[in-house]
Structure formats: structure tokens, C-alpha cells
Amino acid sequence: MSRLGARLGQAVLLAVLLCWLLSLVSGYDVIADVTPARAGLHPSAQALLGTDHMGRSVAWRLVTASRAFVGPGLLAMAVALALGLPAGALAGYLGGPVAGVVRYLWAVVSAVPRFVLVLLACSIYGSEPHVLAVAAGLSFAPGLGEALTTRIEALRSREFVLATRAHGVSAARTLAWHLLWLACRALILRQLLYLLAFYLVLETSLSYVGGFGIEEPQPSWGNMLAFEFGIHGGNPAAWAAPALAIWLTVAAAIGVASTLRERGHA
Amino acid sequence: MWTALRAALTRALWFAATLVGAAFLVQLLLWAAPGDPIDLLPNGAELRPALEAEWGLDQPLPMRLGIYLVHALHGDLGTSLAVHPGVAVRSLLGPALARSAKTLVLALLLSLALSLVLALLTRGRRPVLRALVQLLTVAPVFLLAYLLVLGLNEATWSLVQAGTIARPSWFALPDQASSLRDGLAILVLAVGSGSLGETHAALELELVAVLRSPFATAARARGQPLLGLTLHNLLPPLLAVAGRRVPFLLGGLVIVEKVLLMNGAGALLWQACLKRDYPVAMGLCIAAALAVAGSRLVVDLARLGLDPRLRQVRA
């Protein structure tokens, strides 16, 4: 990806983060916003992206919908880190039977497709955002862990690691500082960006189909799309804006992650 | 010969162990829920006596998991509780899996074929085309399906209104079952959620490596055609890429079948999860794990057959 593409990707991710912060302080009321008299208004100075067919502001719903995936996405990242990072790092550093057992566990979890595992977890434990986030983090941990194991396995016999041992640096410090922080942080960031993209796709897909995910009147980019499906003569921005937001955010997260890999950081 | 046999046997054992582990994992998810899993069912009180005996609730957890596994190995996945109450899960799964397997295999083949063509077009050049492929294919499958359905419906409705064409039999998508709807599902799965982009990127890397290899240079110097040699050397990575895509396609299939109102295993899983019909949901999860682990095994064995260097590597 070009430098410009990477910059655009970073700008989109920053904009999403700002939308999330704005939604937390805005006090926008999703119930009080229903004004049928303003239904289907096209974008104008009064309504930036117009209104949907219940007269609700598309722009405010778009901003508020970032709550559906940014916070839970961060929780999913924390879960994936908590599970994948220590196990993956230890397996890579120690090798042998530890690596064998950890690799087997990763193979077991990743044998069930992520989406299927999350759906089953939602069915058993409920489809609240925190359940979705924990299940997504659990299903993503093998990807992060396996990537770390492979990288650390390749690095553990390199000169800089041997030098830390010769200088009497503890194994914990070598692993945590020299290997994980200095040599693998970009790899971890790349995996977390993939997880963010996965969580957004997961949440919007579930909310679009309905039954799981975010339910109306709470906004999600997925249920905003579903809400406008089959409405003739309405405001095209009401479906185009969430569609574009999903597309751009996923493209930005994957694009920035790919840039890290292409530049050899991860 | 012995090395190859040992490598194949190791992989087969790994497959069996993974499958057993996956069956335990999905069972564990249910049994780890707080309280009694029968309480989670909408008609739990009514079904309790029968389910307590069938699920072995008086047994300790490892024994319960073992009983489930032994039953599953004999093809007994229990009976449906809510989707089709009283019907054996195995008889529900069979037709649904057959329908979905067709869509899945065709989508995988289409994705690989398109990726190969694109890799031959780009092969380390044309960064704009590569970036465009990456950008267009990251769209989630439900979004692609939504946009395609919306576009086709709107365009067709305009033509029907203008009197240019008669109302087609498939109109309006996705309500009517048609080959167009099936084709859309295959296309969306083959292209969406990064399917095409990632496959293309992986194949392009391999293609460039093959074209820059000493044997390709030697073949060029001898004036030999490169296409056959290239495709032969691309086959092992092509299989590896195909194996890696299976879990993603299975996940996408659930959504595509729901969005396009298709009647396959994905839609059945959704319905089972929504109605908390755990025997059906568990059966489908194990079928998905079987597909993923099975595809890994097939790919590994095929690569062992194609690439003798892999037989020397410890499995």
C-alpha cells in the first residue's frame, strides 16, 4: 500500500475514534430523535446526511453507532491479548512440549470457524456486546498466538537474544522487553487491527440480519442498512452512509495492518 | 517411503485429535454456562426428564463429554428441540450440508481461479490494480450481497416500469429461489470479506518467487514454455491458500445464506442458535470443525504428495 493510502487509512481510523468519543459525550437521544414529519429528508445544511424514514438524523446515528463496535472491539483486543500473548510468547520461547500443547489448543479453537464460535457463544450466553467481544477475542486468540509463536521461534536463537543471556538478563525480561516489545509490537498491532476489522464485520453482520447484535432503536451501521432496505424514494444517504462507513473502516484497518507487514515491521 | 508414511500418519492423528478437541470445546461452551443448560431452553421444564437422561446430567462433566463424543462417532447427534422438534439431528443436517457444500466448493474454486488470473496479470507489477482489488474485496459479504441485491432490484424494476423487459421470474431478490440468487451467493463468498484480496496477494507472492527462481531462469534460457512449469510449482501454495480460506468461507456462508434467504446449513445454524436448539447447533459446529480440519488434512496430504521436500520436515 502506498504512503498516501496508509495515511488515509490512519485518518479514517482516527475519525472513527473521534466519532466514538463524540458519541460518549454528545447526549444524543435515539428515542427522542424520532420525528416522522422530517422523514426521508435529503442532506442539507440543517441535516448533514439527511434523515432516515423515521425522521432520525443519519449523521448522529452514524456517529452514535460507533459505540456498537469501538468499545467492545477494544474489549475483544484485551481478551485476545490476555489469552494469545502469554501463551504464544511462551510457546515460541520455550519450544518443545509447551509449544506442542499450545499449538494443539490453537488448532482446536481455530478448527471452529470464528463466526460460528461467536454465534454459538451468543446463543448460550446472550448477545450483549460484552459477550460478543469476549467470544470474538477468544476466537481471535489463536491467530495472534500462532503469529507470535512463529516469530519468537525464529528469533530466540538470534545473536541479540543470545547476547542478553550472556549478559545475565533474565528470561522474563528478554521475552517481555527484547522479544515482545522491541521485536513483536508491530506484529501484535497488526493482529489487533485485523481483530478490529473482524469485530466490525461481525457486529454489523449480526445487527444487519437481526436476532443477535444491536437491535433497533439503538443504532449500528448494520441495522441502519437493514432499516432502509426496500424503502423507495427515501434518502439514499441513509443507506449509503453506513455502507461507506463499514467499507472504509474495514479497508482502513486492514490497509494499515498490511502497511506494517509490507514495510517489514510485522 | 517410510518417511512419507510417517508424515501422513502424523497428520491424520493430528486431524483426529483436533476434531475431538473441537467437539469438546463446543460442548464445554454449553456446560460452562452458569446454571443448568436445560434452563436456557424455552421449553426446558417440559423436556427436563428426557434431556437429563439423554445428556447424562447425573454424570461428571468429563464423562458427559465422553458420552457425547461416543454418540457423535456413531452418528447420533441427538434430536432437535426447537427447529424441528423430535427430528433426529443427523437427518436435518444431511440435506442442509449438501446444499451448502455445493455453494462453498464453487465459491472456493471461483476465488482461486479469479486470484490466479489476477496474480498472472499483476505478478509484482501494477500496484494500482492490486490496491483496487484489495480495496474492493475487503467489503463484508453481507454488504456486498446487500449492494448487489439493491442494484439488481432497482435496475430491473426501472426496466420493467419502462416496459423494456417483462418481469423476470427471479424478481425481486432475494425472495424468489433462483439460479441467479445461488450465483450471487457464490460470487459474494468468492470475492467478499477479503477472500479474493488475500488469495490474490498470497498467490502473487508465490508466483513472483517461482518466476524469479533458478529453475525458471534455466527454463527461460533453454527456451522452454514457462506456463506449465509455473502452474505445477504453484499447485502446493494454491492448495495451502485454499485450505486457509475454508474457515472464512464457512463463516461467510452463515451470513450469505441468511441475507439471501437460502436454505442451507448456515441458515439452519442461525435458526438453531436463535431458538437455542443446542443439539442442532452443536452438530453443525462439529460439522464445521470437520470441514476445517478435514480440509487442512487433505491439503497437507496433497502437498506431501506434490512436494517431496515436505516429507523430510517433522510434522
Q: What is the pLDDT of residues A35-86, one digit of tens each?
A: 888 888 999 988 899 999 999 999 999 999 999 999 999 999 999 999 999 9
Would you call A9 an interface residue with chain B, using a CB distance cutoff of 8 Å? Answer: no
Compare CB distances from B288 to A112, A197, A243 and report the shortest one's residue.
Answer: A112
CB contact under 8 A, B259 and A209: yes
Composition of chain B by helix, strand, coil, percent to 5 = 75, 0, 25
CB contact under 8 A, B142 and A209: yes
Peptide bond into A97 cis (omega under 30): no
Compare CB distances from B292 to A111, A119, A247 and report the shortest one's residue.
Answer: A111
Specify the amino acid at residue B224.
Answer: Q
Q: Is residue B314 over pLDDT 60?
A: no
Contacts B25 to A, Cβ<8 Å: 108-109, 112
Share of chain B above pLDDT 90, in %: 56
What value does the mean pLDDT take over residues A154-167? 93
A68: left (phi over 0), alpha (psi -120 to 50) or beta: alpha
Would you call A181 an interface residue with chain B, using a CB distance cutoff of 8 Å? Answer: no
Give the pLDDT of residue A6: 86
* Residues in CB range of A140: below 8 A, 6 or more apart: A76, A80, A84, A114, A191, A194, A195, A198
Mean pLDDT of chain B: 89
Q: Is residue B156 over pLDDT 70?
A: yes
Nearest CA in chain A to B252: A115
CA–CA distance, B197 with A164 (Å, rounded to integer): 41
Torsions phi, psi for A41 (to 5 deg) = -70, 140
Optimal mutation site among B29, B128, B280, interface A, most CBs of chain A within 10 A:
B29
Q: Which three cell numbers stand for residue B71?
A: 454418540
Compare CB distances from A125 to B19, B33, B272 and report the shortest one's residue.
Answer: B33
Q: Is residue B313 over pLDDT 60?
A: no
CA–CA distance, A120 with A115 (Å, rounded to integer): 9
Angle in degrees, CA A174, A79, B17, rounded to 5:
85
Q: Is residue A119 over pLDDT 50?
A: yes
CB contact under 8 A, A115 and B255: yes
Q: Could you tell me which of B249, B238, B233 has the C-alpha nearest to residue B193?
A: B249
* Residue whose cell numbers read 421470474: B169
* Residues in CB range of A185: below 8 A, 6 or more apart: none
A193-215 confidence digits (pLDDT tens): 999 999 999 999 999 998 899 99
What value does the mean pLDDT take over residues B119-143? 88
CB contact under 8 A, B270 and A113: no
Alpha-carbon distance B215 to nearest alpha carbon in chain A (angstroms): 27
Would you call A117 an interface residue with chain B, using a CB distance cutoff of 8 Å? Answer: yes
Cβ–Cβ < 8 Å for B245, B137: no
For A214, the 3-state DSSP assignment is: coil
Q: Could you tell me which of B112, B77, B71, B73 has the C-alpha nearest to residue B97?
A: B77
CB contact under 8 A, A246 and B139: yes
Reported confidence tier of residue B194, pLDDT bands at 50, 70, 90: confident
Boundaries of every domain in chain B: 2-312
End-to-end alpha carbon distance in chain A: 14
Q: Which three cell numbers stand for residue B307?
A: 512436494
Contacts B14 to A, Cβ<8 Å: 107
CA–CA distance, A254 with A192 (Å, rounded to integer): 10
CB contact under 8 A, A255 and B134: yes
* Residues in CB range of A31: below 8 A, 6 or more apart: A217
Give the pLDDT of residue B67: 86
Alpha-carbon distance B211 to nearest alpha carbon in chain A (angstroms): 20
Q: What is the largest CA-CA distance in chain B?
A: 78
Boundaries of every domain in chain A: 3-68+216-259, 71-205
> Residue A45: how many CA atoms within 13 Å on its side-chain side?
0
Q: What b/e sequence results for A101-121 when a residue is b if at least 16 CB atoms lie within 10 Å of its CB, and e otherwise?
A: ebbebbbbbbbbbbbbbbbbb
Optimal mutation site among A106, A119, A199, interface B, most CBs of chain B within 10 A:
A119
- For A51, which DSSP code? B
CA–CA distance, A175 with A156 (Å, rounded to integer): 9
Give the pLDDT of residue B315: 42
For B83, the 3-state DSSP assignment is: coil
- Supply the ipTM of this predicted assembly: 0.91
Alpha-carbon distance B90 to nearest alpha carbon in chain A (angstroms): 19
Reported confidence tier of residue B47, pLDDT bands at 50, 70, 90: confident
Mean pLDDT of chain A: 93
CA–CA distance, B311 with B301 (Å, rounded to integer): 10
Give the pLDDT of residue A148: 96
Reported confidence tier of residue A144, pLDDT bands at 50, 70, 90: very high
B64-93 confidence digits (pLDDT tens): 888 888 888 888 898 898 899 889 999 999
CB contact under 8 A, B30 and A5: no
Q: What DSSP string describes A19-59? A: HHHHHHHH---TTTT--GGGTTPPS-SSSTT-B-TTS-BHH
Give the pLDDT of residue A265: 60
- For B277, which DSSP code? -
Reported confidence tier of residue A91, pLDDT bands at 50, 70, 90: very high
Optimal mutation site among A83, A190, A203, A205, interface B, most CBs of chain B within 10 A:
A205
Composition of chain A by helix, strand, coil, percent to 5 = 75, 0, 25
Nearest CA in chain A to B288: A112
Q: Which three cell numbers stand for residue B257?
A: 445464506
Nearest CA in chain B to A211: B274
